[in-house]
A and B are shown apart, each in its own frame.
Chain A
């Protein structure tokens, strides 16, 4: 985490000074290094065969396709299917279906009242207003009925994820060996593209609610486990000792001391789990699960940009409401600290009375909806259709700037992407692997990381995806370079002005929550089918974390250092370059790391818009080469692991071990991460969680 502690201040100041000295002649040294590497690469390309030799390739897809074939033939007779999998699938399918129908039966007025009431009760009246506005927007956009299916999928998946994740997290906290074993598994669950493992579920359970739910659970489980474990591990030792001194059993310790004190972290986990689940809704729609995701997909297929945006906005509204309410719940819970009175507009009522009042209101709303209005769905006459306006705006924008953007795209492809891809594919495979190993060693000074990097990249070649991986790698490099080049200046600008930060916040939230599918069609219209639209889509998704973390890093530079530099007569530019940026470096590097992971996670989207590479292999395999889809997905994972470990290591000062936990709240970026850090660590803002207090 990018928290600058006081005891490091001297070290960092001197290292910044040291860097300043080295900075006198950095370019000559860097140029020599670059020239040497270029010469080596040129020699390698000239003397050795390009890419990965065919003879070493193992057809990894074949066993998986054989498995697929076996399932087709035996699924109706095999005992496992008939007695376990099929009943399981039917139960879940009908359960989710019943939940959706139940929500619908409450009528729109009743359900809206229920959502507002629940939000108000757990998170305060302000969040109730947010919930009302958000779901009201969904109704006004005309997607109320569709949102119910999405909502029930989220509820069921999150419930299951928490039921599995929290106990597992508790176990991990008690058994560090288990945690260490699980970490790469959890990383994989979050990095392997959902398209890849959704195939396995389709194989076993057909399309539908069960498959969608399982894919969502897989994607949303890691935060629940990680944050529960983190929360419990962070419980102060003196609280534990006090409990033990009173003679509690282990179970009592868990229930009465550890869990209550870990509650803030666990609630952040719940929040993140819900966000992850929402992030996968459109992918759930690709296996046919109805709801908002499917509406986006169907609109996209007909090239109806306005409809896609409307459905996407409904999804964003739902995401924002769920996020604010669950986050507000954890904050309000902390503030309440077990008090039983609610103070509302000067009155003080007991929470029980409030609960009864709210329940009564909800019942009245349901009854009104059923008997008086007699409508389950939001009335069409009040629906505000934004689709035609959006379509018109879209057309005019494309008409106005399309020529320029398309030429830019052509130039970018011809001058930058194609040469880079050609270069990477022309290099002998062992040279690329050695390059990765060398980068790993330079960043972390650890042999294990270097060897692991070499093996991971080589493995991609062994399973036959070398050329596709190089294609993807070229796009990732360009995407990351452009992202960082745009994000850091914006982050610096945002760090100087609170107003800019406030304006940027909802924009950045939207960029990360709006399903990428929504803006694919305009992006293709602006940039031609090819590799560029994928990079643009990646840009939109990957800019927020980098902007946020740069902003955070610079804002966190302690004031006394800034004042010291100013006292020495530094002007703004020198202040930035010599003090703020070097001290913000860990945070900025974390932002770069997150950018890379985001770009990698969008590789699949690139495959849908002409980006080819590994993303296309996954899409391609989805329908008739299930083995290749899984293999390509694993290759994306391997690339992600190597790049992630290297860039995380680069973010730590030299000599520090690069085994930091995966940053919490990475989905929503640093405002979450920072708040979460405060929740669980409490060492930044005075008056935060006092240790030892909690529900007795």
Chain B
């Protein structure tokens, strides 16, 4: 009995001590802010970060400004660009800053147009362009590759064991919308899309080919960090017409044009404006160019912490982001 009482007593002491130790404060990130920063820190804005550096760049800059200029708390989640809509609609996420319209027509219809919890947050400012890209060094010996006609005679350059008898168009992540097979067939080219299954597979292949100056034709897009590392040229495809846009929606197998420009847009949870009017106003006003985003992306890609990369750009470009913050402050006061 005595030993049991002793054991109980020691357990009580142990737990009290643990609780006491846990309660005391310890170094964590200090809540910064000058005198003029509004007190919004009990509201947390949740961002979606999609698996590409541009998305991380957008979110890093937005988070930095929301925290330091508007006093909000921020958090982010890594989420695939399709899964994010569901979380936006339920409120698990508040904002995503870069949606590519060409891949998300269904999501726009299901979630935004049908008022299923998500609202259009306006343009991001950056313009996306998907296309068939190849290394510029190929133009030296094959200048005809500048446009798709060149493939009629040069398809064999791109033949690989994966597509015997046809040239390979290397595709990546299957979640990215592609019309490559349709374009090749409808333009009468002896090319076939080969799906590598992931963006990293596609880019590794590019790296290998680029180092040996071998031919490669791939589905790629700008803005992308690879554009900063490799000198790539986009192959000319037939201009986008209204018929093309119609085909993309109704009969993708008939598509025979270049990929349309992707006017990247933002999407928010429909309660964001009520929950955090200043954040909503700032994020709606946020717009920047491909080059600006690429600067921050390149830093992130080379290993810089996203917040540091954001701070570096923010310190250097006050004129760009001040209007966004002003819009936020105006909504705060209102």
Q: Which residues of A contact B (CB under 8 A)?
A: 69, 72-73, 75-76, 86, 102, 105-107, 110, 202, 206-208, 285-288, 290, 294, 297-298, 300-304, 352, 356, 359-360, 363, 366-367, 370-371, 374-376, 398, 402, 406, 409-410, 413-414, 418, 520-521, 524-525, 528-531, 533, 607-612, 615-616, 619-620, 622-624
Contact = CB atoms under 8 A, between A and B. Distances in A.
A608 B172 CA distance: 9
B14 interface: yes
A376 B28 contact: yes
A72 B115 CA distance: 12
A287 B87 CA distance: 11
Contacts of B51: 297-298, 301
Given A72-B111, A298-B51, A620-B174, A529 B106 contact: no
Contact of A73 (B116, B200, B202): B116
A521 B208 contact: no
A482 to B, nearest CB: 17
B288 interface: no
Nearest to B48: A288
Contacts of B261: none
B92 A208 contact: yes
Contacts of A398: 208
A530 B162 contact: yes
The bracket for how many chain B residues form the interface is 35 or more
16 contacts: A72-B89, A73-B116, A105-B22, A105-B26, A206-B87, A363-B18, A370-B24, A376-B28, A418-B164, A524-B208, A525-B204, A525-B207, A528-B161, A609-B196, A610-B201, A623-B175
B204 A303 contact: yes
B28 A612 contact: no
Nearest to B162: A530
A414 B164 contact: yes
Nearest to A533: B201
Given A72-B110, A352-B3, A524 B204 contact: yes
A524 B79 CA distance: 25
Given A105-B22, A363-B18, A525 B208 contact: yes
Nearest to B226: A303
B199 interface: yes
B35 interface: no
A303 B207 contact: yes
A182 to B, nearest CB: 31
B87 A107 contact: no
B196 A610 contact: yes
B199 A301 contact: yes
A202 B27 contact: no
A359 B207 CA distance: 53
Contacts of A374: 26-27
A107 B80 contact: no
A360 B53 CA distance: 46
A105 B7 CA distance: 26
Interface of B: 3, 7, 10, 14, 17-18, 21-22, 24, 26-28, 51-53, 77-83, 86-87, 89-90, 92, 106, 110-111, 114, 116-117, 160-162, 164, 170, 174-175, 194-205, 207-208, 225, 301, 303
Contact of A300 (B161, B200, B225): B200
A612 B195 contact: yes
Given A410-B161, A616-B195, A623 B174 contact: yes
A61 B116 CA distance: 24
Contacts of A363: 14, 17-18, 21
A610 B161 contact: no
A290 B78 contact: yes
Contacts of B208: 398, 402, 406, 524-525, 528
B205 A208 contact: no
Contacts of B77: 207-208, 288, 290
A487 to B, nearest CB: 26
A298 to B, nearest CB: 7
Contacts of B14: 356, 359-360, 363
A616 B90 contact: no
A29 B80 CA distance: 56
Contact of B86 (A105, A202, A352, A529): A202
Contacts of A608: 196-198, 201
Contacts of B200: 300-301, 303, 520-521, 524
Given A75-B90, A609-B196, 16 more contacts: A72-B116, A86-B90, A102-B22, A202-B83, A300-B200, A303-B203, A371-B24, A402-B208, A410-B161, A521-B200, A528-B161, A529-B196, A529-B204, A608-B201, A623-B80, A623-B174
B7 to A, nearest CB: 6
Contacts of A520: 200-201
A449 B17 CA distance: 63
B205 A376 contact: no
A610 B83 contact: no
Contacts of A301: 51-52, 199-200
A680 B314 CA distance: 64
Contacts of B26: 105, 107, 370-371, 374-376
Contacts of B92: 206, 208
Contacts of A619: 174, 197-198
A363 B207 CA distance: 51
Nearest to A199: B83
B193 to A, nearest CB: 11
A623 B82 contact: yes
A374 B27 CA distance: 6
B4 to A, nearest CB: 9
Nearest to B177: A624
A616 to B, nearest CB: 5
B196 A76 contact: no
B225 to A, nearest CB: 8
Among A352, A359, A398, A610: residue with most chain B CB under 10 A: A610
A294 B197 CA distance: 18
The 7 A-B pairs with the shortest beta carbon distances in the complex, nearest first, are A623-B175, A620-B174, A413-B161, A610-B196, A623-B82, A524-B204, A608-B197
B84 to A, nearest CB: 8
B162 A610 contact: yes
Contacts of B110: 69, 72-73
A608 B199 CA distance: 9
Nearest to B92: A206
A446 B199 CA distance: 47
Given A76-B89, A206-B92, A367 B21 contact: yes
Given A612-B195, A616-B195, A418 B201 contact: no
